[in-house]
Amino acid sequence: MIQFIIKRLFSTVFILWGVVTIIFLLSHLVPVDPVTMMLGERYDQAVYEQLRHSYGFDQPLWQQYINYMWQLLHGDFGKSYHYIERPVADILRSGVPISLQLGGLAILLELIIGIPSGVLSAIKQNTWIDRMNMGVMMILYSVPNFVLIPICMLVFGVQLRWLPVAGWGSAPHMVMPVAVYTALGTAFYARLTRSTMLEVMREDYIRTARSKGLPERMVIYGHALRNALIPLVSALSPSLAFIVTGAFIIESMFNIPGIGYIAIQASQMNDYPVVAALTLILAVAVALMNMIADILYTVIDPRIRL
Amino acid sequence: MLSPTNRRFNWMGVLVIVSLIAVLVGSCAAPPQPTPEPTKAVIAATPTAAPSPTKPPAPTPTPAPKQVLIFPNIGITEPPTTDPALAGDGNSVEVVSLVYSGLVKQDKDLRPVPDAATKWEVSKDGLVYTFYLRNDIKFSDGTPCTAEDFAYSINRTLNPATKSRQAKAYLGIIAGATDVLEGKAATASGVKVLDPLKLQITLTKPISFFLDTFYFTTSAAVKRAAVEANKGDFTKVETNIGTGPFMIKSWVHGAEMVLVPNPYWYGGKLQLAEYRMPFVKDAATAYKMYLTDEAHLTTVPSDNIAEAEKQPDFVRAPRLRVATLVLNLKHPPLDNPKVRQALAHALDRATIDNVVLRGQLAPIKGIIPPGMMGYNPNIKGYNYDLNKAKQLLAEAGYPGGKGLPPLTLSYPTGGPDPETTRTVTAMQQMWKEVGIEVKLNGMEFGAFLKARNDHTLPFIYTGWGADWPHPQNYLSLLLHSGLPTNWCEYSNPKYDQLVDQADVTFADEKKQLALYAEAEQMAISDVAWIPIGSHVRMYRLKPYVHGFVPYPSWMLGVMAPDWTKVYLSAH
């Protein structure tokens, strides 16, 4: 296990180095000049040269690359182009906890609602309960966020005045965004749980368990669900990784100052240092989550060894 | 042994990351318009009547028990800066103008009125300005603010270490400013503190629009001790010590700023208890916040104009921003004046305004937008006249557009102007009616700016928002030969002479405006520009908020001429 973790961390470092390099090259090869954007519509050659120099853009590319890597090794993401003179780390620090709250709460709810309803559907396969349950889930799964959000805002915010339509902080603020975030995931996990449960229920060991005279509840929760969870774990790890980067559409539309919201703004403003830092954070999160998922497999299924 | 999941880890992780990079780097939209800000018109001008709001004057309503004003700052997740030396975009200036104040400010007609200075004198040669400061100016921490603080603030803006992107444009005219900008001097020789209440500014040229540039935040007072103690980091609340009507009480980065009245403000006691400023990126969200009373002011997104127009709380404000076609007179077929006139006559501006932009682009024929000093409603422009356009095209030797060399119109797909793609597509159709085929070349805003700066585009659709509300900021800056901001290199010695003379005619406003008007007519007759319209912004302002008037500006389109009169009535 320890050996596995060390190996995995070692390869992760290489992957991150590749990611950073790709980001660096992309952000320097795009045809948009950040200094032009900083100056805006009023162009002045002297001011342009001065700013280029102060950001080090007048150095050769390899030199800039080395500087950037050196900064990163010291945990310094550099300074934002758009938020004048503001360290990127500062900008991200305010967003990460908010995205974690939103995403964490939503994923918890997804699992609490999604898995039991999937199990229920699997047990009651092809009854009206199953059909209704899956029908609802299908709708939740197929309505895109950018359609669902304005409808929710109009109904619960503008018409009924039950909930605020923007912001973050108090409980009423959280209800709508968390509900929308949860809708899609719940449907996904319910459908996934149903199909994996059905598959597992046909296995020999379930028949064995039943013939041993185990109560049905034990069969389902002790034997079937435990094995059905394996695909869930692999599905869960990327979604856990992505909560670090926030939910782009939800955060933007509900005006929630999380990382997704910051990312959209940064990409629109060509604020590459922020975009680069975000991508790096996501890469780290995905790598870590995959590692955790691999460790979890061994816990769920003793046949898997690392 | 490695599990099968390991393989998936590798490609999935990389795939996810690469696709995210692609999404992030590939998406490009518009930054807010980083054009700095108008001032008051230096000299009395007759501003054209802006469309007035349809708000009936209420018989002094009773104040509400809770005096909390909520004006969202729309289009951002966080103001780019609150440092007066650096603020160059509307969102930043919106904050800075509440917390800081300068020597002069503009009133709703864009005229100069006293702010921290009670009066000023100008020497006969127009080079020396002496400002007399109030004796009761205090920073929001209670310490006095004197001429020394204003001198420090100006020099700080000019200092290259501050990295101000506006310093040169707004303060470069001050004697010795260039030395400071280039790092050769610490202080500008033209900024002198005569005594604690007297500041003298000497210019290198007797320009007529100096006060207009001095209204801007680049010369607002900051507190030296606070700036130095916090190493110039204005993201901290404690650095933001100003002399404006408000001070920052709390600032949740990326979410909201709460301002409270500055108890030491020389302007008097405010009725408001709090000014809340949520940062709202999405204009559609801001509009919904307005509908649910979570905001007292909102811009109206294009899709909501039709419904909003019918409401009594609807406000229109001219934006001091012109949308125009700019033509390179050396580029065939644009080198033929008849072709240029045909292009101009073929455009139906009223349709562009009403149909394409839902009233957001009031048709104009001249270069100076309405609401600004020097606006000339009687300029001889080009009417919508299809027959005349066809006739001119035939006279130019291209009957029905036959044999006309290809023409490409470049425009930014994003940026500060709404619906550019729809606008140019409509124009393309209009030109087709007379037989002129125009190709469209939509460019990402940053790439467009770069090409425009490099003067590589012969035919562009673009916009210009006034840095200061003075004809110089359009006529001299954008059409004088040899300037980087003259995008299509219009060059006319007679024109240059006229605007050069007008720029320094500071004592006789009538004569100055006549010179500018002559120059403007010349540029229009030469068809160097084909102005399309001037932008109009739409707002909704709660009827129970009192003390605001719409005014022409490129930033927030409502202003409080007197903050002590702003209050909320019971609702």
- Judge whether residue A194 has pLDDT over 90: yes
Is A254 within 8 Å of chain B by CB?
A: yes
A248 → chain B, closest CA residue: B24
Is A1 within 8 Å of chain B by CB?
A: no
Least confident among B17-26, B117-126, B542-551: B17-26
* Alpha-helical runs (H) found in B197-282: 210-214, 224-229
Q: What is the mean pLDDT of residues B290-316?
A: 95
Nearest CA of chain B to the CA of A157: how many Å? 7
Residue predicted with more confidence, A134 or B10: A134
Nearest CA of chain B to the CA of A249: how many Å? 11
Residue A132 neighbours by CB under 8 Å, 6+ apart = none
Question: What is the pLDDT, as a whole number, of residue B57?
Answer: 53
Band (pLDDT 50/70/90 cuts) for residue B9 is very low
Question: What is the pLDDT, as a whole number, of residue B59?
Answer: 63
Q: What is the mean pLDDT of residues B445-450?
A: 89
Let me know how long chain B is.
571
Question: What is the pLDDT, as a whole number, of residue A86?
Answer: 85
Chain mean pLDDT for chain A: 88
Q: Which of A15, A42, A279 faces B169 most closely, judged by CB atoms?
A: A42
Is A39 within 8 Å of chain B by CB?
A: yes
Q: How deeply is B119 buried, as exposed, middle or buried, from its count of CB atoms within 10 A (0-12, 13-18, 19+)? A: exposed
A160 → chain B, closest CA residue: B292
Nearest CA of chain A to the CA of B178: how many Å? 11
Place of tokens 């006739």: B391
Q: Judge whether B489 and B481 are in contact, CB under 8 Å.
A: yes
Which residues face B106 on adjacent strands? B112
* CA dihedral sign of residues B190, B194, B200, B203: negative
Chain mean pLDDT for chain B: 89
CB contact under 8 A, B165 and A38: yes
Q: What is the mean pLDDT of residues A56-65?
A: 91
B158 → chain A, closest CA residue: A47
Residue predicted with more confidence, A2 or B526: B526
Q: Judge whether B479 and B340 are in contact, CB under 8 Å.
A: no
- Judge whether residue A48 has pLDDT over 60: yes
CB contact under 8 A, A158 and B291: yes
CB contact under 8 A, A306 and B3: yes
Q: Which of B10, B14, B160 faces A50 most closely, judged by CB atoms?
A: B160
Is B113 within 8 Å of chain A by CB?
A: no
Structure tokens at B340: 């240029």
Q: Judge whether B448 and B410 are in contact, CB under 8 Å.
A: yes
- Judge whether residue B152 has pLDDT over 80: yes
The pLDDT tens digits for A226-267 are 888 888 888 888 788 778 766 888 998 898 988 888 888 888
B276 chain-A contacts, CB cut-off 8 A: none
Least confident among A165-169, B242-246, B302-306, B444-448: A165-169
The pLDDT tens digits for B358-389 are 999 999 999 999 989 999 999 999 999 999 99
Q: What is the mean pLDDT of residues A77-91?
A: 86
CB contact under 8 A, B31 and A94: no
Band (pLDDT 50/70/90 cuts) for residue B6 is very low
Is B236 within 8 Å of chain A by CB?
A: no
Q: What is the mean pLDDT of residues A145-174?
A: 89
Q: How deeply is B487 buried, as exposed, middle or buried, from its count of CB atoms within 10 A (0-12, 13-18, 19+)? A: buried
Give the residue from B30, B175, B160 showing the smallest Cα distance to B85.
B160
A152 chain-B contacts, CB cut-off 8 A: none
- Judge whether residue B14 has pLDDT over 60: no
Question: What is the pLDDT, as a whole number, of residue B5?
Answer: 37
Q: Judge whether B489 and B444 are in contact, CB under 8 Å.
A: no
Q: Judge whether B38 and B212 are in contact, CB under 8 Å.
A: yes
CB contact under 8 A, A31 and B447: yes
Is A81 within 8 Å of chain B by CB?
A: no
Question: What is the pLDDT, as a whole number, of residue A265?
Answer: 84
B29 chain-A contacts, CB cut-off 8 A: 268
Place of tokens 């300074």: A79
Question: What is the pLDDT, as a whole number, of residue B44?
Answer: 33
CB pairs under 8 A between A and B: 227
Question: What is the pLDDT, as a whole number, of residue B23?
Answer: 41
Is A287 within 8 Å of chain B by CB?
A: yes
Residue predicted with more confidence, A239 or B237: B237
| Residue B244 DSSP label | S
Question: What is the pLDDT, as a whole number, of residue B56?
Answer: 52
Q: Which of B25, B288, B449 faces A41 most closely, judged by CB atoms?
A: B449
Q: Which of A42, A161, A305 faces B467 most closely, judged by CB atoms?
A: A42
SS3 B271: coil
Nearest CA of chain B to the CA of A165: how many Å? 6
The pLDDT tens digits for A121-132 are 998 999 999 999
| Residue B354 DSSP label | I
B452 chain-A contacts, CB cut-off 8 A: 43
A230 → chain B, closest CA residue: B5
Structure tokens at A22: 């790709």
CB contact under 8 A, B485 and A158: no
* CA dihedral sign of residues B389, B390, B393, B395: negative
Q: What is the mean pLDDT of residues B458-468?
A: 94
Band (pLDDT 50/70/90 cuts) for residue B226 is very high
Is A286 within 8 Å of chain B by CB?
A: yes
Is A172 within 8 Å of chain B by CB?
A: no
CB contact under 8 A, B80 and A268: no
Interface test with B, best of A24, A26, A41 (most B CBs within 10 A): A41
Enter the pTM of the model: 0.83
Is B469 within 8 Å of chain A by CB?
A: no
Is A42 within 8 Å of chain B by CB?
A: yes
* Alpha-helical runs (H) found in B186-297: 210-214, 224-229, 283-291
Longest dimension (CA), chain A: 86
Question: What is the pLDDT, as a whole number, of residue B47?
Answer: 39
Q: What is the mean pLDDT of residues A271-276?
A: 89
- Judge whether residue B37 has pLDDT over 70: no
Nearest CA of chain B to the CA of A129: how many Å? 35
CB contact under 8 A, B484 and A30: no
Q: Which of A15, A44, A294 faces B484 most closely, judged by CB atoms?
A: A44
Q: Which of A158, A165, A269 faces B31 most closely, judged by CB atoms?
A: A269
Question: What is the pLDDT, as a whole number, of residue B375?
Answer: 95
CB contact under 8 A, A22 and B18: yes
Q: Judge whether B172 and B178 are in contact, CB under 8 Å.
A: yes
Q: What is the mean pLDDT of residues B426-452?
A: 94
A259 → chain B, closest CA residue: B254
The pLDDT tens digits for B162-221 are 989 899 999 999 999 999 999 999 999 999 999 999 999 999 999 999 999 998 999 999
Give the residue from B192, B188, B169 showing the smallest Cα distance to B179.
B188
Percent of chain A with pLDDT over 70: 99
- Judge whether residue B394 has pLDDT over 80: yes
- Judge whether residue B146 has pLDDT over 80: yes
CB contact under 8 A, B5 and A257: no
Q: How deeply is A121 buried, as exposed, middle or buried, from its count of CB atoms within 10 A (0-12, 13-18, 19+)? A: buried
Structure tokens at A261: 């919201």
Q: Return residues 172-231 of B near A (CB < 8 Å).
A: 181
CB contact under 8 A, A282 and B291: no
A27 → chain B, closest CA residue: B25
Structure tokens at B79: 């103001």
A283 chain-B contacts, CB cut-off 8 A: 13, 17
C-alpha B378/C-alpha B517 separation (Å) is 10
A272 chain-B contacts, CB cut-off 8 A: 25
For A194-219, the DSSP string reads HHHHHHHHTSHHHHHHHHTT--HHHI
Give the residue from B259, B244, B234, B252 showing the smallest Cα distance to B83.
B234
Please give the angle made by the CA atoms of B9, B13 and B19, to the nearest 5 degrees: 150
Is A290 within 8 Å of chain B by CB?
A: yes
CB contact under 8 A, A82 and B253: no
CB contact under 8 A, A165 and B288: yes
Structure tokens at A186: 């719940």
B80 chain-A contacts, CB cut-off 8 A: 82-84
Nearest CA of chain A to the CA of B254: how many Å? 5
SS3 B483: coil
C-alpha B205/C-alpha B203 separation (Å) is 5
CB contact under 8 A, B447 and A32: yes
C-alpha A240/C-alpha A285 separation (Å) is 8
- Judge whether residue B318 has pLDDT over 60: yes
Question: What is the pLDDT, as a whole number, of residue A297?
Answer: 82
**Pairing mode, strands B73-74 and B274-280:** parallel
